[in-house]
Amino acid sequence: MTSTRKKHTGLHRNTISYIGIIIAFVGALLTLFTTIMVISGITSSPYLGIFSYMVFPAVIIIGVLVFLFGTRWESRRRKRTGTTDAMPYPRLDLNDSKQRRKFAVIMVIIFFTLVLLAVVGYNGFLFTESNHFCGMLCHVVMEPEYTAYQHSPHARVKCVECHVGPGTSFYVKSKLSGTNMVGRTILNNYTTPIPTPIAHLRPARETCEECHWPEKFYGAQLLQIPYFRYDEKNTNDQISLIMKTGGGSSTQGQSDGIHWHMIVNNTITYAPVDPQQQTGTPAPPTGAPFGMPAPTTMPASGTSVRPSRS
């Protein structure tokens, strides 16, 4: 007498799921290999970082989705055909030692995959925040600006500290805007030279003023200017000046000095008359010490008035 036994074949036993496993496995190997290369400093190519932190992890996710789609497709096929040799849904019985071992292996694979994606995701975030990414990868069209930045007083300040600033909302907004810029760059559909001023920038009080504190009073500063005299020996000499920089706010203490416009309590209004904001009409500032005259030219219709911090 022969007894029939139902075969509980796993839902992953189908061509689509096998393809998904291969895709995810290859993506994991490439991600691990390129991440080691980037972290170890074997290469400094910014394009390798793109593949390591963005492209190859996406391949892993695509492979997992293909695998899950294959299991779902196989489950529906079994229900549609009414087959009795395999169950349409996965069965888990931890009392069965064989299934318990399979479950442990699957959990280990899932754990290491999640750890890999977490490490790659974090390093990917740091990569997109780096000057290397901003200046050499996505902003090739801004090569003159990046070159000038490298030799500017802000060369040690990260690009994102001024162009993005702290907070999640502006980080997401900048990346969405950057996606549009990448598309324009690929299609070669961007304006040259880059027009100024750039609209929709984050307010300076949320970026620049994190370092340049308007309320802070700056006392006298020593400025030493070396030069050579016009005598026969070109004698080396130096001019020493005491600059009474000033600024500040009356609520924070002293507020005076040669830079009257730096005093927060004083207000200067500037009305640009052209889109590039290169030509403007200064309005009489509040409390001006020298009695500045009223403007003789009014701003063009539709121009905005941009007051300073008050």
Q: Is the pLDDT of residue 65 over 90?
A: yes
Instruction: Please tell me the least confidently modeled range out of 47-56, 57-66, 252-261.
Output: 252-261
Task: Give DSSP secondary structure letters for 105-137.
Answer: HHHHHHHHHHHHHHHHHHHHHHHHTSHHHIIII
Considering the chain, what is the average pLDDT of its residues? Answer: 76
- Going by pLDDT thresholds of 50, 70 and 90, the confidence category of residue 181 is confident
Q: Is the pLDDT of residue 36 over 50?
A: yes
Q: Is the pLDDT of residue 66 over 80?
A: yes
Instruction: Please tell me the least confidently modeled range out of 172-181, 220-229, 280-289.
Output: 280-289
Reduce the DSSP state of residue 263 to 3 states and report it: strand
Residue 142 has φ and ψ, to the nearest 5°, of: -105, 35
- Counting Cα atoms < 13 Å in the Cβ hemisphere of 42 gives 9
Is pTM, for the whole model, over 0.75?
no
> For the residues 229-243, what does the mean pLDDT come to?
90
Q: What's the pLDDT at 265?
A: 73
Characterise 267 by phi-psi region: left (phi > 0), alpha (psi -120 to 50), beta (else).
Answer: beta
Q: Is the pLDDT of residue 34 over 60?
A: yes
